[in-house]
């Protein structure tokens, strides 16, 4: 039996650890090309799981597998799509979670297998929430590792379904661009949710120039610079 684990290089050690003693062959793929290469050989008794990967697995790849592939989503079912922690923090919710689900063609819409939830404290920022989410994902992975290693049997499904807006990169980029009439409260609310750059810096356009904004922690002054 073989597990193909689609993940990032940095995540490989903790993600593979729960499977080490379960007698299953482990193959790591970090890109779509590596995934397709892993599926080029005999795929009998092969299962695909995705953990912390930004690779969208096409329908043609999923169709080659004899059973369901599974994804560990870093958010609860009411926050499908990219960067669920960002939008949960912006909404000011008091509870968050992680989801294990079957992979289908549309991202974060397959049947749900498990959900783990936890509280969000009022002082929680994006880094804190992402750290808590990663720990919850690893706990969920450890719990289901034996079932996932038995590639001949599908995991039981919950009746719970997905809800909420399925966010994409476009949604996130629009979120990071402040409207010109945004007040200080809106700025701080978005800054808490998005975190500070450089890849996800908040921006605003004035006089034809787009500038990025950061919070100067010493005096509380909001400062900016030209985005290049």
Q: Tell me the whole-structure pTM to 2 decimals.
A: 0.88
DSSP structural state of residue 125: -
Asked if 5 and 28 count as a contact pair (C-beta separation under 8 A), the reply is yes
pLDDT at 130 (0 to 100): 93
Cα–Cα distance for residue pair 74/96, rounded to 1 Å: 9
Asked if 63 and 42 count as a contact pair (C-beta separation under 8 A), the reply is no
Cα–Cα distance for residue pair 226/87, rounded to 1 Å: 26
pLDDT at 198 (0 to 100): 61
Residue-by-residue pLDDT tens, the chain, 228 positions: 899 999 999 999 999 999 999 999 999 999 999 999 988 877 888 999 999 998 999 999 998 898 999 999 999 999 999 999 999 999 999 999 999 999 999 989 999 999 999 999 988 999 999 999 999 999 999 999 999 999 999 999 999 999 999 999 999 999 988 888 888 899 889 888 987 666 677 888 776 777 777 665 544 444 443 333
pLDDT at 30 (0 to 100): 95
pLDDT at 44 (0 to 100): 83
Q: Are strands 95-102 and 46-51 parallel, antiparallel or unpaired?
A: unpaired
Asked if 96 and 129 count as a contact pair (C-beta separation under 8 A), the reply is yes
- 186 token code pair: 């809106």
Candidates 6, 15, 71; CA nearest to 33 is 6
pLDDT at 182 (0 to 100): 84
Residue 118: strand, helix, or coil? strand
């Amino acid at each position: 039996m073989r597990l193909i684990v689609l993940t990032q290089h940095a995540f490989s050690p903790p993600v593979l650890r729960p499977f080490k003693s379960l007698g299953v062959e482990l193959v790591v793929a970090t890109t779509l090309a590596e995934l397709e290469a892993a599926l080029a050989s005999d795929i009998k008794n092969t299962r695909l799981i995705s953990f912390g990967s930004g690779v969208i697995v096409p329908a043609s790849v999923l169709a080659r597998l004899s059973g369901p592939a599974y994804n560990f989503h870093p958010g609860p079912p009411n926050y499908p799509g990219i960067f669920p922690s960002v939008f949960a923090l912006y909404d000011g919710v008091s509870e968050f979670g992680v989801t294990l689900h079957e992979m289908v063609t549309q991202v974060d819409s397959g049947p749900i297998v498990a959900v783990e939830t936890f509280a969000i404290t009022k002082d929680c920022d994006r880094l804190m929430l992402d750290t808590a989410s990663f720990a919850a994902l690893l706990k969920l992975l450890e719990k289901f590792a034996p079932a996932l290693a038995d590639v001949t049997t599908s995991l039981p499904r919950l009746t719970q379904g997905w809800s909420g807006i399925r966010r994409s990169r476009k949604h996130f980029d629009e979120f990071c661009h402040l409207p010109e009439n945004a007040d200080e409260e809106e700025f701080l609310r978005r800054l808490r949710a998005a975190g500070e750059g450089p890849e996800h810096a908040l921006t605003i356009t004035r006089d034809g120039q787009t500038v990025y904004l950061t919070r100067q922690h010493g005096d509380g002054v909001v400062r900016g610079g030209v985005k290049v």
